[in-house]
Chain A
């Protein structure tokens, strides 16, 4: 898939995500918009996956550690054929399997249950270690938020990945510079991330995480060490009035805002 086509798919996913959050009256739209370009590149170009056989042992793994942006993952998985796209309309409805955080036993394509922060990277390290033990060819990807890197469990895991020489592991940090309550810089500023990861023995690539031309080659990179992509992104990317605004972490647009956002995303289509 060419970059332009991927960009078009990402915009369609953004639009569907916006609709789902608006309809449900809840969601984490800001962090979803920052992550969608990377999700699109993974599921429509990079990952070796089997939508009809979601647990295929040879599949590449993707763990969404920032589980509160589940809606973006659901839309991506559905669009990629893991389950019917119509089901997105059940997001957060009673008894829907699409709850606010992904469940691996209910939703095809979800690898592990996430929601509490700082869980995905340790699990991804276990998946990558299992791959090494069985000489499997699959690659493991995990995406965290930048605020999420304040969790100590991530740094336990970062040490282990280096010690275990996991060159079959890619960590993507969605560096949108905002967490729930404030800017990262005003909370517990873990940035700059590159020197910290490098000090722990990782190879680090910094990219514009909303630019396919930079995202895809970074995701496809293979080296001798565990690889971290520091993806500089914009919270609320693609919707003018949401961009880089902390209050859009989990705010829901009103009717006027929704229509404006739909118009902006549709224009780009």
Chain B
């Protein structure tokens, strides 16, 4: 087990991102931030005050933003590109493929307000395709931290890693799950809770809901293992295969379409290595109705009680 569940206080992971980026930028002069008129929503105000010359705002022009960041990397800078995840990944997908992934440019793509963080703004602003779009691209780790501690650790890792990555952050508050001082290791899941009856796998805003679901299941005599799988690519195959073999059933949950995201990535490993019954929770291939992110997660069956219910139904298929 890597960590206990801890606080009930909720934190916006963007604050941890901004504080860590500023800390890393004060150590490494080559770090720059690139954004698309998104200083406020990316929490880059502090960065802009401290390093005005190193904040490159291209305006509302995402294709140019990603190309510029590839060029900055060519010139020896380490760009952190901050934009709403729906526009960063969708609007500039070919630039991410050709200029960043294929060129293997040292660029850190930070998708802000991912998932359904912009719930009320409607499906144009939901970013529930970004895992699918990015995880097919070689050279590009895809990461969704579960709390402020993992966010800070992942940003520190990204700054030190000589290659591209895509990291998505919500703006919806989440409690601390990992211990202070946690070190991010790409491609490695954290076992947050031990269990032998079933494994619950999530990342981002869903991990703490999985922990609550495991609490509910425990009261009904079901011991659920919980894996926080922040890295969608490369996926932690060892942890998934062990989960399949040792617990015999897997439930995934994600703030993403059930097609092409974390659940799909887990299912690919399961079907290739150790087929067991699975349930993938997420947005079921539709455009969401209006509502907050929290409302929509509940609406799509990802309230802790609903996750527990789906898990009990799955266990009948074991």
Contact = CB atoms under 8 A, between A and B. Distances in A.
Interface in A106-132: 111-116, 118-119, 121-131
Contacts of B76: 57, 130, 134
Interface string A5-25: 000000000000000000000
A136 to B, nearest CB: 7
Interface stretch (B50-58, B254-262, B296-304): B50-58
B102 interface: yes
Interface magnitude class on chain B: 20 to 34
Given A122-B64, A122-B67, A126-B71, A133 B98 contact: no
Contacts of A181: none
A121 B104 CA distance: 18
Contacts of A136: 75
Given A126-B73, A133-B53, A134-B75, A159 B59 contact: yes
A200 B58 CA distance: 15
A61 interface: yes
Interface of A: 57, 61, 103-105, 111-116, 118-119, 121-131, 133-134, 136, 152-153, 156-157, 159-160, 163-164
Nearest to A138: B75
Interface in B94-141: 94-95, 98-99, 102-105
Interface of B: 32, 53-54, 56, 58-59, 61, 63-77, 79, 94-95, 98-99, 102-105
Contacts of A105: 103-104
A114 B54 CA distance: 26
Contacts of A157: 61, 64, 67-68
A105 B102 CA distance: 9
Given A122-B64, A156-B61, A156-B64, A113 B71 contact: no
Contacts of A129: 56, 68, 71-72, 75
Q: Which label, helix, strand, loop or mixed, suits the secondary structure of the B interface?
A: helix
Nearest to B77: A130
19 contacts: A119-B67, A119-B98, A119-B99, A121-B67, A122-B67, A122-B71, A122-B95, A123-B99, A124-B71, A125-B71, A126-B70, A126-B71, A126-B72, A130-B75, A130-B77, A131-B75, A156-B58, A159-B59, A164-B56
Among B54, B58, B59, B94, max chain A CB count under 10 A is at B58
A126 B98 contact: no
Nearest to B67: A122
Nearest to A110: B103
Contact of B63 (A112, A115, A131, A153): A153
A62 to B, nearest CB: 12
A114 B99 CA distance: 8
A118 B64 CA distance: 9
B58 A160 contact: yes
Among A103, A104, A152, A163, max chain B CB count under 10 A is at A104
Contacts of B98: 113-116, 119
B54 A113 contact: no
Among A123, A124, A133, max chain B CB count under 10 A is at A123
Contacts of A127: 71-72, 74-75
Contact of A126 (B53, B59, B75, B94): B75
B68 A122 contact: yes
